[in-house]
């Protein structure tokens, strides 16, 4: 409810600060779900659940960073001769 209110009422004028606050709330919500609903802690199942979590986080970071990298550099791969075509009479 708080992130929705921050966005809808434009409480903070800086959109980047609003995005950072929303991401912080999301991180807190993830931790709460992991502890209270999934009952994850370093001692459960001999540490295997924590190892699986670390592996999952690493994979998600690799996929997200790779996707962002590809999307950021996508314009260089699309129709490389476009700049020269604009200068043609």
pLDDT attached to residue 13 = 92
What whole-number distance in Å separates Cα of residue 9 and Cα of residue 43? 43
Residue 89, SS3 per DSSP = coil
Burial of residue 5 (number of CB atoms within 10 Å: 0-12, 13-18, 19+): exposed
Q: Which of 3, 1, 33 minimizes the C-alpha distance to 19?
A: 3
* pLDDT at residue number 42: 74
Tens of pLDDT, residue by residue, the chain (89 residues): 899 999 999 999 998 999 999 989 998 998 898 888 888 777 777 778 888 888 989 999 999 899 988 888 776 666 666 666 667 66
């Amino acid at each position: 409810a708080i992130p929705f209110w921050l966005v809808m009422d434009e409480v903070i004028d800086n959109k980047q600060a609003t995005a950072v606050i929303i991401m912080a709330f999301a991180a807190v919500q993830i931790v709460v779900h992991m502890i209270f609903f999934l009952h994850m802690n370093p001692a459960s199942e001999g540490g295997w659940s924590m190892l699986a979590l670390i592996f999952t986080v690493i994979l998600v970071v690799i996929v997200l960073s790779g996707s962002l990298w590809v999307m950021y550099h996508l314009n260089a791969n699309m129709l490389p001769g476009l700049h020269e075509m604009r200068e043609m009479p």
